Structure 1
Amino acid sequence: MKGGNSRTGSKSTDSKLAVKKNGGGVTKPARNTAWFHKLKTPPPPDEFLVFLRDFVRKQFNKELHDNKPLSAAIMAKAACSKWKTMSDAEKASYAAEAQRLKTAYYENHVLTEKLKALNM
């Protein structure tokens, strides 16, 4: 007999392959929880992301007036190289803005959590 072991009588224990059925034999659709993740506020940006937002706005306006094609990859590479060449003194304003956004985020987060606790 060629082949290998025959598993005709054994059940598969792999949960990924198993199909969950309700009483009528029809598969249930997966629950859509994407709406819940949209309700969460994104974390506050760090210094580089604050700089990137500012850099892209300035660069976008410049590129728009020059009628050059705008690419996200080119913009990101230019922003990274500029960030690496900046001194700590130049980065200080972006760090202060990031810290301000961070404190505002956590104050709002604590307030939201307190309101949720009161409503429950």
Structure 2
Amino acid sequence: MDTKFTWSTTQKGEKALLYKNYLYRLRRENQNGSLIYVCTNKSCPRVITLKNDAIIQCDVTRYNHDPRHTEDAQTVFTGLKRRVITDVDQSIGEIYEEEVKKFRRANLIDI
């Protein structure tokens, strides 16, 4: 099982998990310290269980909708959201240009 994921945010600004281009929000924390994340698409039955920032359980066969964005695009969006919230003295256009340039340099591709 591929257990690589990245942290992201939901549209409401809550911490979220991005796994295989699908976004999950925290549903609950169990007594054993594991965290249950559910797909942000309310009609999707997908659930991921994390413990110590590692995926310990995931059903990869039950998506009923298309992915949110490509992982590359989601990485840029997440960086943009963080910067817009924290760099209040800079215009959104400037932040956008900087984040896209940073992404291009890191990945050596055009978007």
- Could you tell me the TM-score, scaled by structure 2's length? 0.28
**Greater radius of gyration (CA):** 1
- Bigger relative contact order (CA 8 A; separation at least 6): 1
Q: Which structure has more helix as a fraction of its residues?
A: 1
Q: Which structure has more strand as a fraction of its residues?
A: 2
